[in-house]
Structure 1
Amino acid sequence: MLEITLTLLLLLAVLFYIFMTWNFGYWRKRKVPGPAPRIFFGNYPHMYNMKRHAIYDLDEIYRQYKQEYDAVGIYGARSPQLLVINPQLARRVFVSDFKHFHDNEISLMVDEKSDFIFANNPFALVGEGWKQRRADITPGLTMGRIKTVYPVTIEVCQKLTEWLRKQIRLAEPGGIDAKDMSLRFTSEMVTDCVLGLKAESFTDKPTPILAYIKELFTQPWTFVVYFVLVSTLPALRHVFKLRFVSRRIENFFVDLMQSAINARRGQQAAGKQFERVDFLDYILQLGSKRHLDTRQLTANTMTFLLDGFETTATVISHMLLLLARNEQVQQRLRNELEAHLNARGVIDFDKLNELPFLDACVQEAIRIFPPGFMSNKLCTEPLELTNKNGENFIVERGTTVIVPHYCFMLDEEYFPNPQVFQPDRFMQPDAAKMYREQGVFMGFGDGPRICIGMRFAMTQIKGAIVEVLTKFNVRVNPKTRTDNLYEPTAFITTLKGGIWLDFEPRQ
């Protein structure tokens, strides 16, 4: 009996091994080079222990093969993926060959039944659905509308200064959490600009909005389990879908949307003319035109909210960190800003986007700490590719194509001393555009699916930086690490251990 049991166990082990390694010949059969995968892990050795950010594993592969090939075959657990290691090929994926890589891989993991809000975000939408949603939302983010709500930016900046002065008086030895501060700023900004409501994020008793935003972007360990499972058994994506926005958070924002609608319509019923043509005004017009209910209006509005809270706060906090580390650059930027302050001590909207060193500092901060460190695209139409020093191969429909933006933006071949904060890299006219066309800098993506909120985000980032630097000297608190190591579990790039800064009021 024991022998039979052991034989069955051995047979099961052999079958399991065959199952786990069956796909490992996928790229070899197509004559696409790449590193040997390991059982359970594929080419992500830290998939389970999460002790190191996955982008560092990809960077090692990138550096090993970049001189010889344009793309290599890798595996996430047992799922084949194509890793792009030539920046010009990366640009083709986003621009010239866009129709072949139209969708994002996340679209396979969500639907309206599992997550109505996220499934209706342009990032997750596919095909004509994506095209229609982008066409609907883009007019709400024109420079004219952004300019209309710029006074809100100034008002929130003043609240930020008052909050910082209060924190300084409390004199916490561990410094101020720059990410928390930046999230307070973006939650107050976006909530007011998009919904016309106050989040009260800089008060002692903020509304629940800030807490729900933080919860939204603090994803549970079940996310990691889900990604591991679907990498091991891709068919599970047809059975189990991902829920990024929990039911509780969805209900909260639906109720919040209804409150905003009621408040705006109440003003209109009372004969009051709202003083600005803001994003809510546009969304209500869109809802009336398309006969959308509150839940559908919320899904449209959450595009502004999801894309505007975390990523913008991340850029602000990392930029302050890099400026705090380099006092010379900080003072150089401050000199530029102070030269353009108006009588009220702020920079006019039209002038804000004409300050070259401010723009260069933002772009350089995004390069070192890109919120989107990689893109997982989906092949939507088969395409034959050449492979430098290798053979031609066909990318089949449904293949996940990984574009590792971090690898290009932190490569000394394209950016000498890549870990060093050097804004002068972006001081040439149209430098960001030049790098983007080379495929080595995609801070906001590229091509038809480039971030639609880019201009709104840049206004928030620049507004916050202007306020902080003209009112405070910024220093790094000893609690903050001195390197640029990423938090291993973060979906959006974050410095490991957090960003803790000291602020000193300027006279």
Structure 2
Amino acid sequence: MGPITVALFILTALIGLIYIFLIWNFNHWNKRGIKKQTMANNPFLLMGDIWKERRAEITPGLSTNRVQAVYSVTQNICKQFVDYIKKQQRMAPSGGLNAKTLSLCYSTEVVADCVLGISSGSFSDNPTPLVGMIKRVFEHSFGFIFFNTLASLFPLIRKFYCVPFFTKDVENFFFDIMQKAINLRRENNEHRNRADFLNYMLQLQEKKGLDTMMLTSHTMTFLTDGFETTALVLSHTLLQLARNPEAQRLLREEVATGELSFDQLSELPYLDACISETLRIFPPGLAARRLVTEPFKFVNKNGVSVEVVPGEVVIVPNYAFHHDPNYYEHPEKFQPERFLEHNGGVRKYRDQGVFFGWGDGPRVCPGMRFALTQLKAALVEIVRHFNIKPNPQTRTDNALDETYFMATLKGGIWLDFEARD
């Protein structure tokens, strides 16, 4: 039985099967089905026991305490971000500002500083090459997208040919950046005691004898989970707030008073609901794919069964679940209220197995805490300082860009920012 049949079976069977798939029987399909590439130690790409080991290495570096330790850095960058938006809006053409570009500048600056302790110059007139390189990483060609679509249906293709996620020049660039960041950190006593990801990795390097390539591989996890994903979620949340003035008003009321501490930032239910609803409508991961490693039989409530064997690929259509009216009333509408606690919150939909904003099971996004903090901090500052409106250039539906490998609004997100002060 091929992966398309399995995907359709899962879509029509009990949602509880998703928990069986992603959590309860994880060992049957703990591999993503992605062939290892040059960045062979990036936990996003690894499989089996090696994946467990590498993930266990980086997880302590993403703890709540470490995210909190760099929160003041994030707050400072958010203030710079507001000034940057004001400057860009003054020079903006009639077509508005590109929210994705703005968000990518922000996420690049945050990750560069909080993770590596360096500035990317994202808000300056002369940004470092890091900004341009980040854009290059995710502007995949049609050939890359076509190959991976084909390989999802016929996984044996990967045994004979593989298109790398990161090109060699991109890997070399980040290897060089990592080496320079390490050297600067060792020479700069000011940051030697900062509880950030790089210092954690340097401690891990000493403990386990990791080389620079290994450190770079770990850090590249933030390229996928930090730069691009955070920028996508931020830009789409701004889009939804611009389209829904009442939601924007309610959020502004929630975040109106004073500078928020790290703990206070974690206690904003409507902000959490807005982010969750955005992740539902535009989930960065359109689908989850796993390579079967042990035989398994799915059985639905009607007794219909399907058996999968090692070597097959099982696909969970995240986007389809998120837009299924059987689970989400009016699925195309932005309704953050559905994720508020009195309506069951996120837990309600996770327990049903129909929400995959950050993935699920043991392979849930390791950088979730870090990404959420950056998202919330930026949204608080933007909503406080601007009235956000959709530019007429932005489409009014939620059609996806079919040339991009993550959920992205077709035609781009063009917004107008009206300063409130």
Report the TM-score, using the length of structure 2 for normalisation.
0.95
SS state at 1:103 partner? coil
Structure 2: how far apart are the matches of 1:442 and 1:472? Answer: 30
Structure 1 Cα separation of the partners of residues 332 and 149 of structure 2? 31
Instruction: Please state if 1:325 is matched with 2:247.
Output: no
Aligned to 1:116: 38
Deviations 1:211-231 (A, max 9, x none): 000000111222134236546
Equivalent-residue separation in structure 2 for 1:326 and 1:392 (angstroms):
44
Q: Does 1:261 align with 2:189?
A: no
TM-aligned CA deviation for residue 305 of structure 1: 2.6
CA contact (8 A) 2:100 2:413 kept: yes
Distance 1:232 1:303, change over 3 A: closer
Aligned residue in 1 for 2:375: 461
Provide the residue aligned with 1:163 in structure 2: 84
Within the candidate set 349, 352, 356, 1:435 is matched to 349
**Structure 1 residue 234, shift from structure 2 partner:** 4.3
2:268 is matched with 355
The count of corresponding residues between Structure 1 and Structure 2 is 419
Residue ranges of structure 1 left out of the alignment (5+ in a row): 1-25, 28-41, 44-71, 75-80
Give CA deviations for 1:164-203 in whole Å, capped at 9, x if unaligned: 1111211311100000000000000001111001001111
Alignment of 1:91-130 (within 5 A): 91-106=19-34, 110-111=35-36, 115-117=37-39, 119-130=40-51
> Does 2:264 match 1:336?
no
Equivalent in the alignment of 2:223: 305
CA distance in 2, matches of 1:330, 1:296: 43
Counterpart of 1:473? 387
How far 1:403 sits from its partner (Å)?
A: 0.6
Q: How much does 1:90 deviate?
A: 1.2
Give the Cα–Cα distance (whole angstroms) in 1 for the partners of residues 132 and 67 of structure 2. Answer: 26
Aligned counterpart, 2:280: 367
Partner SS for 2:158? helix
Relative distance call for 1:231 and 1:297 in structure 2 (3 A) is closer
**Counterpart Cα distance in 1 of 2:153 and 2:399:** 28
Question: Residue 338 of structure 1: SS of its match in structure 2?
Answer: coil
* Structure 2 residues without counterparts, runs of 5 or longer: none
SS of 2:24 mapped into structure 1: coil
| Structure 1 segment 78-227 matched on structure 2, within 5 A | 83-85=10-12, 86-106=14-34, 110-111=35-36, 115-117=37-39, 119-227=40-148
Distance 2:417 2:286 in 1: 29
Q: Tell me how far apart the structure 1 counterparts of residues 166 and 298 of structure 2 sit (CA, whole Å).
A: 37
Q: Deviations over 1:65-103 (max 9, x none)?
A: xxxxxxx446xxxxxx86543321112111111111211
Cross-structure match for 1:497 = 411
When residues 151 and 382 of structure 1 are mapped into structure 2, their CA distance, relative to the original with a 3 A threshold, is same
Residue in 2 aligned with 1:422? 335
RMSD of aligned C-alpha atoms? Answer: 1.8
Q: Secondary structure at the match of 2:307?
A: strand
Task: Give the Å deviation of 1:240.
Answer: 1.7
Is the contact made by 2:386 and 2:417 (CA closer than 8 Å) also made in structure 1?
yes
Aligned partners of 2:179, 2:109: CA distance in 1, in Å?
18
1:485 to 399, 410, 414: 399
| Cα distance change of structure 1 residues 267 and 471 upon mapping to structure 2, 3 Å threshold | same
In the other structure, the counterpart of 1:34 is none
Match among 163, 173, 176 for residue 252 of structure 1? 173
Q: Which has the larger radius of gyration?
A: 1
Partner deviation per Cα, 1:20-62 (whole Å, 9 max, x = no partner): xxxxxx46xxxxxxxxxxxxxx97xxxxxxxxxxxxxxxxxxx
Distance 1:422 1:256, change over 3 A: same
8 Å contact kept, 1:84–1:401: no
Task: Work out whether residues 237 and 274 of structure 2, in 8 Å CA contact, stay in contact via their aligned partners in 1.
Answer: yes
Give TM-score, length-normalised by structure 1: 0.79
Counterpart of 1:287 (choices 187, 191, 205) is 205
